[in-house]
Amino acid sequence: MLPKLTQARAPLTREIFAVNELGETTVVSIPAERPLTIYVDKRELVTLMTLGAHPEKLVLGFLRNQRLIESIDEIESITVDWDVGAAAVKTRQGISDIEARTSKRVVTTGCGQGSMFGDMMAEVDQLVLPAATLSQSQLYGIVNAIRLQETTYKSSGSVHGCALFRGEEMLVFVEDVGRHNAIDTIAGWMWLQNITSMKGDDKVFYTTGRLTSEMVIKSGQMGIPILVSRSGITQMGHELAQRIGLCTIGRATNKRYLSFTCSDRLTS
């Protein structure tokens, strides 16, 4: 039983005047950045700064990736109203001891939603990722699909993008001013598509952002065994990926890349 979701929309870019090095006034397009305060059963939980493309899916994925809800069935409705910048989440049963579970604050390296509640790190060792491989040509296909994607980034820059692939087939592409908003939006999308974390097996996650600890943890939580980035990896991202057997591929542009962990998952 899927939750009722609004379809709140708001402009993603705005044109402003800027002055360039020649002193010329030019019109440039910049991405939106707006606060979205999440209320769970009328209790204020957090305010996210977001581009605002898919607020309902963002909220759903945020609650999922923060492990505040175990199943989408727990959510009755998510109502977003941009006039007040609020997302009202109605649960069927309420969230047990939400106070305690949101008390511990971890401010992460990641962008956007750089805050993980609870002892997520402790859950890492329980993650078991399915065996999965990606061929080099599929990887090149993924990088090319991203290149061809029409994006807010192309029109205005300053946003992160991420996408979910099956092989080289792009299933969904999401952008946000915070890349953690983008990955959480995809987590919400997966739930709505009934792609549970147990079905991440044949999925590949692409992000324009750096492979930090939080990106690796979230990818692992979503059951996705292969993580591709245009950017690099941090030491903790590297250690965690090794620990959970996640294949991380970075600096992926054109036909170049570096496989940092589980390189055996990458076939020629």
Binding residues for a second copy, rule: CB under 8 A, are 14, 16, 18-21, 23, 26, 28, 30-35, 45-50, 105-115, 136, 156-158, 177-178, 210-214, 231-238, 250-251, 255-260, 263, 266, 268
- Unique residue bearing structure tokens 């305690």: 100
Provide the minimum distance between the beta carbon of 172 and a second copy in the complex, in angstroms, as a whole number. 21
Q: How far is the CB of 55 from a second copy (least distance, A)?
A: 14
Residue 223 CB, nearest distance to a second copy (Å)? 23
Tokens (6 digits) for 106: 């971890």
Please give the sequence-ordered ranges of beta strands (E in DSSP) within 82-202, or none if there are none.
Answer: 86-91, 105-107, 115-117, 134-135, 160-166, 169-176
Q: Say if residues 115 and 105 touch (Cβ distance below 8 Å).
A: yes
The residue among 73 and 109 lying less far from a second copy, judged by its C-beta, is 109
* Strand (E) or helix (H) holding 244: helix 235-244
- The contacts of residue 45 (CB under 8 Å, 6+ apart) are 38, 39, 89, 98, 102
**How is residue 196 written in tokens?**
């549970």
Task: Identify which of residues 56 and 176 has a Cβ nearer to a second copy in the complex.
Answer: 176
Give whichever of 200 and 250 is closer to a second copy, judged by the CB atom: 250
Residues 39 and 63: beta-carbon distance below 8 Å: no
Give the pairing of strands 134-135 and 266-267.
parallel
Least distance (Å) between residue 57 CB and a second copy: 17
Nearest distance from residue 105's CB to a second copy, in Å?
Answer: 5
Select 193 or 263, whichever has its Cβ closest to a second copy. 263
Output 116 or 195, the one with its CB closest to a second copy: 116
Nearer to a second copy, 93 or 253 (CB): 253
Strands (E), 124-199: 134-135, 160-166, 169-176
Q: Name the minimum Å distance from CB 53 to a second copy.
A: 13
